[in-house]
Structure 1
Amino acid sequence: MEDDMTSRPASKASFYLGFLLLLNVFNFAHRQMPISLGFQIETGLGISHAQLGLLIGYAFIVVYSVAGMLLGTVADRWNRPRLIALGLTLWAAATVVSGLSQSFFQIALLRLLVGTGAAVLTPTALGMLADVYRPERRAFAAGVYYGGIPLGAGLSLIVVALLEPVVGWRACFYVAGAAGLLMVPFILLLKDPPRGGHEATAGTPPVQPPGAARSTTEVLGEIVRVARRSPALIATLIGSVFVLWPISALTLGVTWLQVERGLTMTQAGLYSGVIFLVAGFLGNLAGGWLSDLCHRRWSGGRLWFLALAQLVIGPPALAWYVLPTDSVLFYVVWFIGSFAATGYFGPIFATVQDLAPARVRSTMVGVLLLVVNLFATGLAPWVAGAIGDATTLTRGLVICSLVGFLSVPFFVFAARRYAAGIARRDG
């Protein structure tokens, strides 16, 4: 009987994780479209590397980040599956219409709408996963959820590489958006799990606030108070910005492979897709599992893991930009770099969730996305593209990769103060 009672929550958690992972695959497949089709969009619309960097970065990220934080406060109060369904409807429809764009301005405007809709998913989904997984398993759950990055991006690259030469780049947007719209009815069947169930003590009900219990202003005010009493949380946010610069700049990688390394559209897309899908997904799983292992053994173990991973993987990953494409080592390093890069997400999000009270967890994830997206995901591609227009994309990508090493002292600082942050979390 006890085993049956234990297995049912585990099965429920696994179902939520699998379903939300699928949604995140669609999320990143749609986000990936300008990355997968970067060279073709540059040629078709007559835009520069810097403009493509803006299209991939700030045209999407600014509204995505701000909306993510604000919608995180909504997710802390409203029915979360319905909120996700609304967001998916918006971002998938905007993806379809993106195929009709005739200028940089038009496609950038539609990217704003994609960003608004997509902003719903991650704060809401991670809040739901934190409610069905115990604290010691949250990095694993977040790592699996963020497997949607390599799965969605990899599948997008592969499908686009095979489809674009046949139907053109515009039809690729139509197909991707239509597939997303088909998922909406299934989301509406999903139940919203009780909030804060694993933080509840015996005899204390889970946190399940009514929709109008707190205003957005009150929730944001609490976020400020949480940040003020947690130096570990602030240092984690800053370290996350720096460690994600190399990955963010590499969104220009498919274009770089075609423009400066001589690969065809099909080669660049297929190689990138297969490597990122396999290595990236394995990296998400490994990063979540290893960081959870470190978390169980040491205070701030996930943060120590992040610092060590950057120091170990960062130097050899830089070699990829200068190795010849006909060398086996080029592809070996490419695989290792993709494996390592995605391993950061699980421990980062799990740490932020641990340091935030359950009642504002989705909002704090939104804050993390705001900070990371404004200062890494949005900024790094534009910087790399601008340097690429002035000199070479290779130089721009290498410079952005070096920024990643600035994360190490912040993760070390946060690890040393992690225990104090947990102790003061609900104060």
Structure 2
Amino acid sequence: MLLGFSPQIIKDLALSNAQYGFLVGAVWVLSFGFMALFMGTLADRFSRTRVIAAGVLIWSLCTWASGHAQSFEQMVVAHFFVASREAALVPAAVALLAELFAEKRRGTAMGLFFMGIPLGIGCSFLLAGVLGAMHGWRTTFYVLGVIGTAIASLLALLKEERSQLAPQERGAAFVPQVLAVLRIVGGDRALRFMIVGFVMAHLVFASLSFTQLWLVNERGMGATGIATRIGALQLVFGTLGAAVGGVMGDIEIRLVVGRSCTVRLSSPC
């Protein structure tokens, strides 16, 4: 929502471009980078549905609090904890999907799940262009906070009892988990390159944070009209990319398995 309402928020809170960039960039990265690891370890040890519900609840309260922010510092604190929602959702949900879907269907399931990101970004810009024009960014944040709290309450009703598992079948504590991850990354060259490539790809994505500002401030276009257009592009091409990417990944896995079976006829396929 900070992206969709960027011109209004910057004007209302008297933010500089550097402050806005810090808010939507460094604050989010630092928060998500730590919280994703922490929430991931919790999802390994406790109910994943409850971890997701807790993340959505924190997101909702901080979204509501963001609407009350009167300064840069207050918005930084609220936005820092907003990132905990995605940090809780992604590790827990991906783990659930990996268990529910066979390997040959997992890519499609993941693609459909990650359609939520472009759908969320697209809808945020559309909300900024429609509701924002009528009610302002603060009221929109209040409403989303209330809706999110209701959703979190419903998610908390979904049960997944992991306490019945033997201790060795559940994840380790935070520090041992992090050390294990670092050992895996350090010993896998392909994984390191994939992480670097993923980071570099998102450097381009970060420019979206200033796209609307540039069009409004430098080109004199209307903020609400630009937000609506950007939202529509995200909804169409972002969701297509996620869905098609997942399906193509499953097709590639089947082709690889088929070629492997052809080469090694004696192996079970």
Structure 1 length-normalised TM: 0.56
Letter in 2 for 1:132: L
Q: Does 1:220 align with 2:178?
A: yes
Matched, 1:237 2:195: yes
User: Hey, what's the Cα distance between the residues in 1 that align with 2:159 and 2:117?
Assistant: 24
Q: What is the Cα deviation at residue 165 of structure 1? A: 1.9
- In 2, Cα distance between the equivalents of 1:285 and 1:212? 32
Deviations along 1:149-185, whole A, 9 cap, x unmatched?
A: 1111111111221112221221111111111111012
1:286 aligns with 2:244: yes
Q: 1:261 aligns with which of 219, 243, 248?
A: 219
Q: Please give the alpha-carbon distance, in whole angstroms, between the structure 2 residues aligned to 1:213 and 1:278.
A: 38
Matched, 1:110 2:68: no
Q: How far 1:190 sits from its partner (Å)?
A: 2.2
Aligned length: 255
- Aligned pair partner of 2:13 in 17, 42, 45: 45
Q: 1:275 to 1:73 in 2, by over 3 A?
A: same
8 Å Cα contact 1:151-1:277 kept in structure 2: yes
1:34 equivalent in structure 2: 2
Query: Within 1, Cα distance between the matches of 2:242 and 2:92?
Result: 20
1:160 maps to a residue whose letter is A
222-231 vs 44-53, greater mean Cα deviation:
222-231
Give distance in 1, aligned partners of 2:219 and 2:104: 44
Is the CA contact 1:63–1:115 (under 8 Å) kept in the aligned structure 2? Answer: yes
Name the structure 2 match of 1:166: 134
1:14-163 paired onto structure 2 within 5 Å: 33-163=1-131
| RMSD, aligned α-carbons | 2.1
| CA distance 1:232–1:193, change in 2 (3 Å) | farther
Task: Please tell me the residue identity of whatever aligns with 1:46.
Answer: A
Question: Residue type of the partner of 1:49?
Answer: N
Give distance in 1, aligned partners of 2:113 and 2:206. 19
Contact 1:128/1:192, CA 8 A, preserved across alignment: no
User: Aligned match of 1:188 in 146, 151, 156?
Assistant: 156
Counterpart of 1:295 in structure 2 is: 253
Please point out which of 154, 171, 178 is paired with 2:146. 178
| Secondary structure at the counterpart of residue 36 of structure 1 | coil
Q: In the alignment, is the contact (CA less than 8 A) between 1:38 and 1:255 conserved in 2?
A: yes
Shift of 1:49: 1.6
Measured after TM superposition, the shift of residue 213 of structure 1 is: 6.2
CA contact (8 A) 1:60 1:108 kept: no
SS where residue 106 of structure 1 aligns? helix
Residue number in structure 1 paired with 2:265? none
Amino acid at match of 2:39: L
Tell me the CA shift for residue 38 of structure 1: 0.5
> Equivalents in 1 of 2:211, 2:154: separation in Å?
34
Residues in 1 aligned to 2:30 and 2:17: alpha-carbon distance in whole angstroms: 19
Task: Return the TM-score normalized by structure 2.
Answer: 0.87
Letter in 2 for 1:237: I
Following superposition, the deviation at residue 292 of structure 1 comes to 2.5
**Contact 1:128/1:193 (CA < 8 Å) preserved in 2?**
no
Task: Report the Cα distance in structure 1 between the residues aligned to 2:122 and 2:144, rounded to whole angstroms.
Answer: 14
1:237 is displaced (CA, Å) by: 0.9
Find the residue that maps to 1:269 and give its secondary structure: helix
Matches within 5 A, 1:269-348: 269-298=227-256
| 1:132–1:193 Cα contact (<8 Å) kept | no
Going from structure 1 to structure 2, the CA distance change for 1:277 and 1:217 (only over 3 Å counts) comes to same
In structure 2, distance between residues paired with 1:118 and 1:282 = 21
Query: Aligned letter for 1:125?
Result: A
What amino acid sits opposite 1:76 in the alignment?
A: D
CA separation of 1:284/1:212 partners in 2, compared to 1, >3 Å: closer, same or farther?
Answer: closer
AA paired with 2:200?
A: F
1:227 to partner: Cα distance: 2.1
CA contact (8 A) 1:37 1:160 kept: yes
Name structure 2 gaps, 5 residues minimum.
258-269
Identity percentage over the alignment?
32
**Alpha-carbon shift at residue 298 of structure 1 (Å):** 4.1
Give the AA of the match of 1:268. Answer: I
